């Protein structure tokens, strides 16, 4: 039997499971930090790069669902979207990548590298002392 392509609903389930695990990992980190410092986490910052494959609003929904009825509720979640940017090797100038065109818009050079856009990280945790 040949494998079939995933349906749109199957892809949506996979995406939401991925984003739920991102939120769960961030909440685990918040709980560990809270326990270590003896302080309550009141806010968290999440950086999501354009190329990370994570929708920018799904982690908020997942986080709200996971902190409900816990000592973290209500947790303010700030999401920062980071666009895809490349850097040219020779001049180190950065530019936004548009329509997958990764060559330098100034000189047309193709020797560029990723500068930002793959991030998926907890940027900060704001704590409240007891």
CA atoms of 43 and 67, how far apart (whole Å): 12
Encode the chain (130 residues) as per-residue pLDDT tens digits: 444 444 443 344 344 567 888 888 888 888 888 888 888 899 999 999 999 988 888 888 888 989 888 888 888 999 999 999 999 887 778 999 999 999 888 888 888 999 999 999 889 988 888 7
CA atoms of 89 and 93, how far apart (whole Å): 8
CA atoms of 52 and 69, how far apart (whole Å): 30
Within 10 angstroms of residue 22's Cβ, the number of other Cβ atoms is: 21
Q: Please list the residues that pair with 83 across neighbouring strands.
A: none
Q: Can you give the residue ranges of every domain in the chain?
A: 8-83+116-128
Helices marked H in 38-121: 58-67
The pLDDT score that the predictor gives to residue 17 is 60
Give the 3-state secondary structure of residue 87.
strand
CATH number attached to the domain at 8-83+116-128: 3.30.2320.50
Q: Give the β-pairing of 85-88 and 76-82.
A: unpaired
Contact criterion met (CB below 8 Å) for 79 and 52: no
């Amino acid at each position: 039997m040949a494998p079939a392509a995933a349906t749109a609903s199957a892809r949506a389930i996979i995406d939401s499971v991925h984003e739920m695990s991102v939120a769960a990992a961030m909440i685990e980190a918040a709980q560990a930090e809270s326990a270590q410092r003896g302080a309550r986490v009141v806010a968290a910052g999440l950086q999501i790069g354009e190329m990370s494959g994570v929708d920018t609003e799904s982690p908020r929904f997942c986080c709200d669902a996971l902190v409900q009825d816990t000592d973290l509720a209500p947790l303010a979640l700030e999401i920062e979207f980071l666009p895809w940017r490349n850097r040219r090797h020779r001049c180190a100038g950065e530019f936004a990548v548009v329509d997958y065109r990764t060559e330098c818009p100034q000189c047309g050079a193709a020797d560029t590298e990723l500068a930002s856009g793959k991030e998926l990280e907890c940027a900060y945790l704001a704590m409240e002392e007891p």
